[in-house]
Amino acid sequence: MDCIHLTNIRAYGYTGALPEEQILGQWFEVDLTLWIDLSHAGQSDRLADTLNYCDVIEVVQHLIKTSRLVLLERLATLIADSILTFDRVTQVRVQLIKPAAPIPDFSGKITIDLTRSQSARR
């Protein structure tokens, strides 16, 4: 199956377990892998025969900006579920990254990595 990769989708949001994350917010990054049949678009050269990346990016950024959640796992699930509403997407991998978690003496990133498919939604 063919894939489209969208990386470094960034938005400022208010998801987190700590009170300051809910008030001050922070940056989030999302990497997506979308499983989609690209054979028709590869022949036709028409945007109508593929997925408009701008629409996907807009959905992800909107969810990050407007969701007020405690768990990253929930936000990643909402993103996956929203992407699966696009007609041609059969499976999605979401990597939701918190690049600067407010954890003392920790300078790494936190990443939630999940894969969901249309067949699991039915």
**Position 120 pLDDT exceeds 80:** no
Supply 40's token pair: 């028709």
CA distance 20 to 97: 18
Number of domain units in the chain: 1
Q: Which of 34, 92, 98, 116 is catalytic?
A: 98
CA distance 46 to 96: 30
Q: How does 45-74 read in b/e, with b if 16+ C-beta sit within 10 Å?
A: eeeeebbeeeebbebbbebbeeeebeebee
Q: What is the pTM of this model?
A: 0.94
Instruction: Give the tens place of pLDDT for each residue, 65-116.
Output: 999 999 999 999 999 999 999 999 999 999 999 999 888 899 999 999 999 9
Give which of 24, 17, 32, 20 is closest to 73, Cα–Cα: 17
Is 65 noted as a catalytic residue in this protein? no
Task: Give me the domain span that covers residue 49.
Answer: 3-121
